[in-house]
Structure 1
């Protein structure tokens, strides 16, 4: 049979593994997604997807993330003209 000490040590090791797996997942949602903002998209870039994230409890910024066809993700400055034009064209397409 196992002694109480070995069971405690095993339990502590198991809890350490559980917490080391859970912490990165929790931290992912507790911050803003965009660190660096760009006013313009790179030249000759083709957009495959655009995601818009509104302000929430863990991030007070309005964020626009454009995924390009080459797999790169670019965070656009929401107050830049290019981002505003994209949002306006998306609204027009949605109304039609």
Structure 2
């Protein structure tokens, strides 16, 4: 009887371990890949952009990714080599740097 309980507890532990490891790998798989399949290079007026995320290249993706959230809620991957995108990113970084300097 005790042997069956030990086997049942071990089986439950192994199942729990396998499931939790699988969930960890699934989450990691989502993070370790590029988020942008294609990029948008035609001009989008800054008034239509609500937020911009700049994701540096790294082990997850060899490309710098710029993801703009538009005011209508749509997310668009921007081409980091497009001149208008470079200007917007430069302005955003300058604004952040100025904000950082005023805090000091």
TM-score with structure 1 setting the length: 0.77
Structure with max Cα Rg: 2
Hey, which bits of structure 1, 4+ residues long, moved more than 3 A? 91-96
Gaps of 5+ in 1: none
Residue 101 of structure 2 is matched in structure 1 by none
- Which one has a larger percent helix, Structure 1 or Structure 2? 2
- Deviation, structure 1 residue 87: 2.0
- Deviation, structure 1 residue 78: 0.6
Residue 31 of structure 2 is matched in structure 1 by 29
SS in 1 for 2:53: strand
Pick closer, same or farther for the CA change 1:7–1:94 going to 2, 3 Å: closer
Q: 1:18 aligns with which of 13, 17, 20?
A: 20
RMSD over aligned CA atoms reads: 2.4
**Which structure ranks higher in relative contact order (CA pairs < 8 Å, sequence separation ≥ 6)?**
1
How far apart, in 1, do the equivalents of 2:90 and 2:58 lie?
Answer: 22
The total of aligned residue pairs comes to 95
TM-score with structure 2 setting the length: 0.72
